[in-house]
Amino acid sequence: MAENKIPLKEMKEWKALEAHYAAIKNTHLRELFAADPKRAETLAVDALGIYFDYSKQRLTTETIKLLADLAEASGLRKAIEGMFTGEKINITEGRAVLHTALRAPRTAKVMAGGENVIPLVHEVLEKMEGFADKVRAGQWKGHTGKAIKNIVNIGIGGSDLGPVMAYEALKNYSQRGLTFRFVSNIDGTDFAEAVADLDPAETLFIVASKTFTTQETMTNAATARDWTLAALKDKAAIARHFVALSTNAAKVSEFGIDTANMFGFWDWVGGRYSMFSAIGLSTMIAIGPDNFRKMLAGAHEMDEHYRAAPFAGNLPALMGLLGVWNNNFLGAASIAVLPYEQYLKRFPAYLQQMTMESNGKRVTLDGRAVDYQTSQVYWGEPGTNGQHSFYQLIHQGTKLIPCDFLAFSSPAHKLGRHHDLLMANVFAQAQALAFGKTAEELKKEGVKDWLIPHKTFEGNRPSTTMLLEELTPAALGKLVALYEHSVFTQGVIWQIGPFDQWGVELGKVLAGRIAPELEAAAAPDLKHDASTNALIRRYRAARG
C-alpha cells in the first residue's frame, strides 16, 4: 500500500502552475524570443555531451522554477533515492526497481533482498563477455562443427524492443560477418521470414524471456527447436544452438536448454528496463564487450547526473517536467520523437513501450482515479523521411504536437553534403515550428490574398532539440537512461506506478481462453459476447 499523498491538483505548486499558465498561454514563441535576447542560452542545458535546447518550448524561466518546485514538493528527490537504493517502489508487484544497478561500476554497493547485487551483475556480465567473445571469434561451433554466423533473438516486448533498437542503433559498431535477426510476433511469418535464408548448422537462437512462460516466445522457441532438429537430427544439437536469457532456471531446463547456457537476471529488472541486463546479449555479441561496457558507462553517467543535479539543470527531470507542462497545461496528448539519425530508426518504437507501458495508468499508487492526463502518446520516425509525410499536421494541423528532435554533429558516414543537409533540415524544422510564417511576410513576398491563409504557418509549436557529438555506444546509453528517468520523473509527479503493466494481462487471459475454442475439432459452446462469438465462428468456418 502506498502512503496517501495530497492529490496533485490540490497541491499549491500545481495551482501556481495553473495561474502561471493562464498568464502566459497567449504569448507566442516569437514574442518570448524577442523579449529575451539571452533566451537560447538560458533555456538550454549542456551536460554529459548533450546540448539540450528547450528554448523553443512554450515557457519562461518562471515556468521552470515552478515545475522544479512541483518536483520538489512531489518528493522526487526522495523517490529517486528510493529507486537507486533498492526500495520496493514497484508496490503492486512488491519489487525493487534497480535497472540502474545493471550499469553501476564494480565498486558500487546496491542492496536488494539483503544482498549487494553489484557482484551478481558483474558475474553475469563476465559470463556474457566470455560467450560473446567466443561467438565473435568463430570459436562457438554449432553441432556439425561449423562456426555460428547467425544470431536469432527470440523474445517479445521488453525482451525484444531494446535488443532490436540497440542492434540497429549501433550497427556501425557491429561485427559485420555475423547476421542478426529478431523474432517476436506470434504470427508465424515473423519466424519464417527471419530464418528463410539461414543455415541451421550456423544459427544460434537466443531465447530471451524473463519469465520463460510468455506464449509468443515459447511458441517461437519451440518452432526454432523443431526447425533446428529437422535439419540437424540430433537432440544434442540444442546445447550448441540455444542459449537462454531468463530469471527462471527451472523453465529453461524444462525447455531443454542446459542452464550452463543460461544468462540470468533478477526480478528487480523490469522487462522494458532490461536491455542493459543479460537481455542485451545479442547487443554484446554484435558490438563486442568493450563497446557494451561503454554503453553501460554512458547510462551510468546519466544515472549519476539524475541523482545529483538540481532539477532545473537535470536532463531527465527537465525532460519529464517539460512533458508534464505540455501534456497537463498545454493539452498536448502526444509527443513526436524525431531522430535525425537513420541508425535510430527503432528508437521511437522502443520508447513507445518504455513510456506508455510505464505511465499509461489511470489510478494513483494509493488507488484513486486520476483527474488529469498521464502518459502522452509517443511516436515518431527518423528525419528527414517524416518531413515528407506527417509533419504537415504538426506544422499546420489542429493538434498541438511537441517534438523531440535528436541530432548528432558527426555523421556515421561522411558522404558528400549529406550530413550538412540533414542538419540543415533538423534546425529548419524546429525553427519553422516555433516561428512559422505570418500573413504579413507572405504579403511582402507577393503571395496572392486568397492563398495567404493556406500558406500561413501559425508557429508557436514547441520542440526540444538535443544535439550530441556522435551516436556512440556511450551516447546511446545516455539517451536511453535519459528517457527512462524522464518517465520516472513523470510517474512521481502523476503519483502513479511506472513499473507494473496490469493492462496487458486481460488480453492474454482471454487469448488463452479463445485459443482452444479455435483449435477444437467439434464446434465449441461459445459464451462470449455476440461479436466475439461471430468472429470465432467465421474464422472456424474459413479455416475448415
Shortest distance, CB of residue 154 to ligand G6Q, whole angstroms?
A: 10
Residue selected from 56, 95, 272, 293 as contacting ligand G6Q according to rule CB under 6 A: 272
Backbone dihedral region for residue 259 (phi beyond 0: left; psi -120 to 50: alpha; all else: beta): alpha
Count CB-CB contacts under 10 A for residue 463.
Answer: 26
C-beta of 346 vs 395, nearer to ligand G6Q = 346
Shortest distance, CB of residue 160 to ligand G6Q, whole angstroms?
A: 8
Residues of this chain, 325-384, that bind ligand G6Q according to CB under 6 A:
357
Q: Which sign does the torsion angle of CA 424, 321, 22, 33 carry?
A: negative
Cα 399 to Cα 296: distance, rounded to the nearest angstrom = 38
Cα 152 to Cα 198: distance, rounded to the nearest angstrom = 10
Cα 134 to Cα 534: distance, rounded to the nearest angstrom = 54
C-beta of 265 vs 343, nearer to ligand G6Q = 265
**Three-class DSSP category at 341:** coil
C-beta of 155 vs 316, nearer to ligand G6Q = 155
Shortest distance, CB of residue 153 to ligand G6Q, whole angstroms?
A: 12
Shortest distance, CB of residue 272 to ligand G6Q, whole angstroms?
A: 3
Shortest distance, CB of residue 157 to ligand G6Q, whole angstroms?
A: 2
Cα 438 to Cα 206: distance, rounded to the nearest angstrom = 56
Residues of this chain, 147-206, that bind ligand G6Q according to CB under 6 A:
156-159
* Closest C-alpha among 24, 40, 8, 82 to residue 368: 8
Cα 209 to Cα 183: distance, rounded to the nearest angstrom = 12
Q: Answer yes or no: are the C-beta atoms of 181 and 151 closer than 8 Å.
A: yes
C-beta of 215 vs 410, nearer to ligand G6Q = 215
* Closest C-alpha among 214, 212, 135 to residue 178: 135
**Three-class DSSP category at 207:** strand
Binding mask 462-501 for ligand G6Q (x = CB under 6 A): ---------------------------------------x
Choices 265-273, 302-310, 319-327, 433-441 (CB under 6 A): range interacting with ligand G6Q: 265-273
Tell me the three cell numbers of residue 12: 499549491
Shortest distance, CB of residue 285 to ligand G6Q, whole angstroms?
A: 19
- The residue from 301, 357, 381, 517 that is catalytic is 357
Question: Which residue has cell 461459445?
Answer: 526
Type of residue numbered 287: I
| 454: annotated active-site residue | no
C-beta of 13 vs 357, nearer to ligand G6Q = 357
CB-closest chain residue to ligand G6Q: 157
Choices 81-89, 268-276, 296-304, 334-342 (CB under 6 A): range interacting with ligand G6Q: 268-276
C-beta of 209 vs 355, nearer to ligand G6Q = 209
Q: Give the burial string for 103-131 (b: 16+ CB within 10 Å, else e).
A: bbeeebebebeeeebbeebeebbebbbeb
Cα 56 to Cα 238: distance, rounded to the nearest angstrom = 55
Binding mask 379-418 for ligand G6Q (x = CB under 6 A): ----------------------------------------
Tell me the three cell numbers of residue 13: 505548486
C-beta of 103 vs 210, nearer to ligand G6Q = 210
Residue selected from 86, 271, 280, 383 as contacting ligand G6Q according to rule CB under 6 A: 271
Binding mask 208-237 for ligand G6Q (x = CB under 6 A): -xxx--x--x--------------------
**Three-class DSSP category at 338:** strand
Cα 353 to Cα 158: distance, rounded to the nearest angstrom = 8
Cα 523 to Cα 475: distance, rounded to the nearest angstrom = 56
**Three-class DSSP category at 388:** helix
Residues in the interface with ligand G6Q (CB under 6 A) total: 14
C-beta of 156 vs 252, nearer to ligand G6Q = 156
- The residue from 3, 10, 233, 388 that is catalytic is 388
Residue selected from 264, 270, 280, 477 as contacting ligand G6Q according to rule CB under 6 A: 270
C-beta of 157 vs 491, nearer to ligand G6Q = 157
| 357: annotated active-site residue | yes
* Closest C-alpha among 283, 287, 280 to residue 263: 280
| 388: annotated active-site residue | yes
**Three-class DSSP category at 306:** helix
Choices 169-177, 267-275, 291-299, 320-328 (CB under 6 A): range interacting with ligand G6Q: 267-275
Beta strands 50-53 and 44-47, pairing class: antiparallel
C-beta of 159 vs 291, nearer to ligand G6Q = 159
Q: Identify any residues that bridge with 46 across adjacent strands, giving them in sequence order.
A: 51
Shortest distance, CB of residue 98 to ligand G6Q, whole angstroms?
A: 14
Shortest distance, CB of residue 247 to ligand G6Q, whole angstroms?
A: 8
Shortest distance, CB of residue 60 to ligand G6Q, whole angstroms?
A: 37
Shortest distance, CB of residue 275 to ligand G6Q, whole angstroms?
A: 11
Question: Distance of alpha carbon 267 from its chain centroid, rounded?
Answer: 19
Choices 102-110, 198-206, 207-215, 526-534 (CB under 6 A): range interacting with ligand G6Q: 207-215
- The residue from 9, 443, 508, 519 that is catalytic is 508
Question: For the chain, what is the total number of helices (H) and then of strands (E)?
Answer: 23, 13
Q: Answer yes or no: are the C-beta atoms of 245 and 124 closer than 8 Å.
A: no
Tell me the three cell numbers of residue 163: 535488443
Which residues have a catalytic role annotated? Answer: 357, 388, 508
Residues binding ligand G6Q (CB under 6 A): 156-159, 209-211, 214, 217, 270-272, 357, 501
